[in-house]
Amino acid sequence: MGKFCEICGKGTLNGNLVSHSNRKTHTIWAPNVQNVRVMVNGASKRMNVCTACLRSGKVQRALPKTHATLEAEA
């Protein structure tokens, strides 16, 4: 799973966790990126897309072919 979104370009942030005693621990925050099938110019494609882009409808999901759709095509 990728660490950046191929739609909005959102990537990792890094910084420190700071405890009450002021000790710093380096950390990296990654966006919630999912590898999903999306429709791009009429063709389905797997892309790494963050959940914010999925939720806001910036990509059109390519749903897997179900038994019903396969029967309709035949």
Two tokens, residue 57: 């409808």
Of the pair 5, 47, the CB lying nearest Zn ion is at 5
Using the minimum distance from each CB to Zn ion, give the nearer residue, 47 or 50: 50
User: What 3-state class would DSSP assign to 26?
Assistant: strand
Of 53, 36, 40, nearest to 1 (Cα)? 36
Minimum Å distance from CB 23 to Zn ion?
Answer: 33
**Alpha-carbon gap, residue 60 to 16, rounded angstroms:** 36
Q: Which residues form the interface with Zn ion (CB under 5 A)?
A: 5, 7-8, 10, 50, 53
Nearest approach, Cβ of residue 1 and Zn ion (Å): 14
